[in-house]
Amino acid sequence: MKLRSRHLLGLEGMTREEISLILDTAVSFREIIERPIKKVPTLRGITVLNLFYEPSTRTKISFELAEKRLSADSISFATATSSVKKGESLRDTVQNIEAMKIDMVVIRHSSTGAPYYLTQCINSNVINAGDGAHEHPTQALLDMFTIRRKYGKLDGLRVVLIGDVKHSRVVRSNIWGLKAMGASVAICGPSTLMPYEVEKFGVEYYTNVEKAIEGADVVNIMRIQLERQTAGLFPSMREYTNLFGITKERLKLLNKNYTIMHPGPMNRGIEISSEVADGDSSVILEQVTNGQAVRMAVLYLLSGKKEEAEQ
Ligand code: CP
């Protein structure tokens, strides 16, 4: 079993077998990051460029560490101190860096489709680290890895994604991935934060949080993305918290052995209470740890595809 593409642009269209391959591969990398010496020679000689046009804490550091743990040569590009500030285009920027002989590019960009666009301009493998409101595939993979690690399966679990569905690339990638893996998926949020033609996702959707989370195994809570909202899409933060915030009181509606997730960064006291975020059922920091193993798996599996393409 191999991945069909040499890029990771999104989980839409990815098969259950491909997702399982990534998650299974991440299991052995998860073990490596618990070792006293967290380094293997797997990607020695491979150069990876981390190209972040948008802010990031978890994804950027996680990719950088994953590359170092695999012995890749890793370079990170800061737009604020680069010639992007002089007006250089994405295409020219990346083609110039590729001329210095890199093999893989990890890109985060505010524009949907920027990772796909790069695949048309350069020869390196491209990994999407979040593009606009489109997809964030490695986040959904690490979310699925975390759920599977706890329950031993994804099949048949009820997973509810709550919050700013309209602007969330994490929701989209989770929907495609979880559906492929046989989970029962529901989304919930204010009607103003639901995308047009929401029914096309093929999942249950709710504007009432109590109804959505009743009997759920996993609740994955999305951040309210103030930076992506061009208009006031709900009257006030207090009203959002009252209607959709996940509090200890609301947890009573969930299944026994429930799990609380959040991709971060969290707005504590808005979409999630501190009690819930720091509670025994929260796996928020475990998601971050698992993210490194999942990204090591993605880098490893895609680097093999480049070697194949060059033979
Ligand atoms: N979850 C996530 O993508 O976090 P960062 O924006 O910090 O990378």
173 lines ligand 1 (CB under 6 A): no
Q: What are the phi and psi torsion angles at 6 (to 5°)? A: -95, 5
For residues 132-153, give the mean pLDDT: 98
- Residue 260 in contact with residue 284, Cβ under 8 Å? yes
Going by pLDDT thresholds of 50, 70 and 90, the confidence category of residue 7 is very high
3-state secondary structure of 261: strand
- Residue 167 in contact with residue 226, Cβ under 8 Å? no
b/e code 176-204 from CB counts within 10 Å (16+ = b): bbbbbbebbbbbbbbeebbbeeeeebebe
| Gyration radius from the chain CA atoms | 19
Is residue 265 pLDDT above 70, yes or no? yes
For residue 119, the model assigns a pLDDT of 97
3-state secondary structure of 40: coil
Is residue 229 pLDDT above 60, yes or no? no
Q: What are the CA-CA distances from residue 211 to residues 32, 90, 121, 170 (Å)? A: 41, 44, 47, 22
Mean of the per-residue pLDDT values for the chain? 94
For tokens 């666009």, the residue is 117
Among the listed ranges 21-35, 128-142, 281-295, 296-310, which one has the minimum average pLDDT value?
296-310
In the numeric block, which tokens belong to residue 290? 């698992």
Among the listed ranges 160-169, 171-180, 230-239, which one has the minimum average pLDDT value?
230-239
Mutate to test the pocket of ligand 1, among 59, 65, 110, 220 (most ligand atoms within 8 A of CB): 59
For residue 309, the model assigns a pLDDT of 63
Distance 310 CA to ligand 1 centre (A): 33
Distance 62 CA to ligand 1 centre (A): 10
For residue range 85-137, list pLDDT tens digits in order. 899 999 999 999 999 999 999 999 999 999 999 999 999 999 999 999 999 99
For residue 230, the model assigns a pLDDT of 56
Strand-pairing partners, residue 73, are 47
For residues 29-45, give the mean pLDDT: 97
Protein residue with least CA distance to atom 6, ligand 1: 56
Protein residue with least CA distance to atom 1, ligand 1: 263
287 lines ligand 1 (CB under 6 A): no
In the numeric block, which tokens belong to residue 152? 């031993």
For residue 311, the model assigns a pLDDT of 59
For residues 239-252, give the mean pLDDT: 95
Going by pLDDT thresholds of 50, 70 and 90, the confidence category of residue 227 is low
Instruction: Kindly give, in sequence order, each residue whose CB lies less than 8 Å from that of residue 298, ignoring residues fewer than 6 positions away.
Output: 8, 22, 127, 138, 141
Strand-pairing partners, residue 259, are 218
- Residue 168 in contact with residue 205, Cβ under 8 Å? no
For residue 305, the model assigns a pLDDT of 66
- Encoded amino acid at 226, one letter: L
Q: What are the CA-CA distances from residue 124 to residues 98, 102, 105, 196, 302 (Å)? A: 8, 7, 6, 34, 10
For residues 192-210, give the mean pLDDT: 94
For residue 282, the model assigns a pLDDT of 98
- Look up the pTM and report it: 0.95
Is residue 11 pLDDT above 90, yes or no? yes
Alpha-carbon 35 to chain mean position: 25
For residues 59-74, give the mean pLDDT: 98
Q: What are the phi and psi torsion angles at 166 (to 5°)? A: -55, -45
d(CA 262, CA 283): 8
Distance 228 CA to ligand 1 centre (A): 15
Q: What are the phi and psi torsion angles at 159 (to 5°)? A: -115, 125
168 lines ligand 1 (CB under 6 A): no
CA torsion, points 110, 243, 255, 198, in degrees to nearest 10? -50
Distance 265 CA to ligand 1 centre (A): 6
Among the listed ranges 123-127, 209-213, 238-242, 276-280, which one has the minimum average pLDDT value?
238-242
